[in-house]
Structure 1
Amino acid sequence: MSDSLTFCGLKEKQRAIRVEFPETMGLRVHRAISWIGRAEACGDDHDARFIFLWISFNAVYADEREFQSVAYGERAAFVDYFGKLVARDNGQRIYKALWQRFSGPVRTLMENRFVFNPFWQHNNGIDGFEDWEERFRTSSRSFAHAFQSGDSAKVLSFVFDRLYVLRNQLVHGGATWNSGVNRAQVRDGAAILGFLMPVFIDIMMDNPVENWGQPFYPVID
């Protein structure tokens, strides 16, 4: 990753141009960069790094209700956010990361049933998910089609669906810190987020007048 996409590089850029930022967008970026800095301090603690990077993602995207209230696979606002980023990614940094740098980890993540929500719904005894294996195959085919057609926004949506399950496992106490079980998905998830989050923030700073939405918890005097 270039120095411009480290905490120090992002913070330096933000300070130089933040006067141009709308208040809401400026708050999102300020918060997100702060969590990038915290994640960088984690070193090889992949669990902690993943969690702090997910907080950074929430800071830029920030509507948890989208995940909780909208049916799996129908997160329109989620797709909309990724669509905005990809459309304004003039250097195709997201595309290059997905298809070159992280194509292996992304494919491995998509082939892992342990980060597929219907698998856990079925194993937790929730009715209606007996067909999780067929759903998994359907999801894999849809992902492969998006990947082969170069649809970065859809690929991001699939990837973040899986990362969200991983996030839940960690945040809701469904995993042991530094466990040897499923270590690869935590390490790969942290690596994917660690590269993409600074790129997301940088794209937003380059496009401050875009409507990036209202922060979920604004600053109130």
Structure 2
Amino acid sequence: MYLLEEIFKKHKHLYSANFNLRMQRGLSWLRKAKELDDDADLRFVSLWIAFNAIYVENLQDVFDEDQQHLRQFLLRLHQLDQEQRIEHCVWERCSQAIADWSNNPYVYQKLWDFQNQNIDEQSWKVHFHADQQRVQHAVAHRDTVELLLIIFDRLFTLHNQIMHGGSTCNSVLMRKHLDTASQILMTLLSRFMLVLLEHGQALDWKKPFYPVIQVC
């Protein structure tokens, strides 16, 4: 965390105003998340805000059902990551957490679609099985971006559950899911931000969806 902030302060004058605003916001929420070890709910929410600060360019990104915007974002990061920090995170440092996460039906949206009677039981199980095959294919081919897309799809389900009142604050039932999600997201975000800081000068960064303005 402190390394990221030091790099940002040292090279801030080289980046665009849009990049600096996004990174400043992202780092502030990442710092807050690190201070919330005893609050699993707010730690995860803070990490999600940090991610949105560096990712979201418009509301279509927030409701990116086909994952095209997210795919482009992750692919760009992966291509820029010459030191393969993201690769190491996915396949080494967080490999067990990611394996547990991708096999967890409770963070798979189709399960909840079934519980809410939007689809039948067979349908959600067929979809889950197909998704598990997608995970296996990504692992077999060491397809980092594809595996990240699957991870973020599950993270988005947990995000929706928390943000739309689908869990009790400090729920014992949710603690394991939140801890795993936060471990993955915090580790990934640190790598994402470091890659962005290393290549900030070369990025054509769009204005944040909520820029700093003054209404006269």
TM-score over 0.5 (shorter chain): yes
Match of 2:42 in 1: 48
Q: Contact conserved, 1:121 with 1:129, CA < 8 A, in 2?
A: no
Task: Summarize the alignment of residues 17-166 of structure 1 with structure 2, pairs less than 5 Å apart.
Answer: 17-62=11-56, 63-68=58-63, 70-71=64-65, 74-127=66-119, 131-166=123-158
Mapped pair 1:203 → 2:195? yes
Q: Contact conserved, 2:77 with 2:192, CA < 8 A, in 1?
A: yes
Q: Contact conserved, 2:167 with 2:174, CA < 8 A, in 1?
A: no
Q: Quick one: distance in 2 between partners of 1:125 and 1:211?
A: 44
Identity %: 30
Q: Contact conserved, 1:111 with 1:140, CA < 8 A, in 2?
A: yes
Alpha-carbon distance change, 127 to 135 in structure 1, aligned in 2, over 3 angstroms: closer
Regions of 4+ moved over 6 Å: none
Match of 2:208 in 1: 215
Q: Quick one: distance in 2 between partners of 1:129 and 1:117?
A: 13
SS in 2 for 1:181: helix
Q: Quick one: distance in 2 between partners of 1:23 and 1:154?
A: 31
Q: Quick one: distance in 2 between partners of 1:21 and 1:200?
A: 16
Q: Quick one: distance in 1 between partners of 2:171 and 2:67?
A: 31
Q: Contact conserved, 2:102 with 2:151, CA < 8 A, in 1?
A: yes
Q: Contact conserved, 1:24 with 1:215, CA < 8 A, in 2?
A: yes
Q: CA RMSD in A?
A: 1.7
The TM-score with structure 2 as length reference comes to 0.92
5+ residue gaps, structure 2 = none
Superposed displacement of residue 17, structure 1? 0.5
Using the TM superposition, name which of 131-140 and 177-186 deviates more. Answer: 177-186
The TM-score with structure 1 as length reference comes to 0.90
Superposed displacement of residue 187, structure 1? 0.5
Superposed displacement of residue 67, structure 1? 4.0
**Deviation by residue 1:87-122 (Cα, 9 ceiling, x = unmatched):** 111111111111111111111111111111122122
Q: Contact conserved, 2:19 with 2:205, CA < 8 A, in 1?
A: yes
5+ residue gaps, structure 1 = 1-5
- Paired residue total: 212
Q: Contact conserved, 1:116 with 1:136, CA < 8 A, in 2?
A: yes
Using the TM superposition, name which of 185-194 and 169-178 deviates more. Answer: 169-178
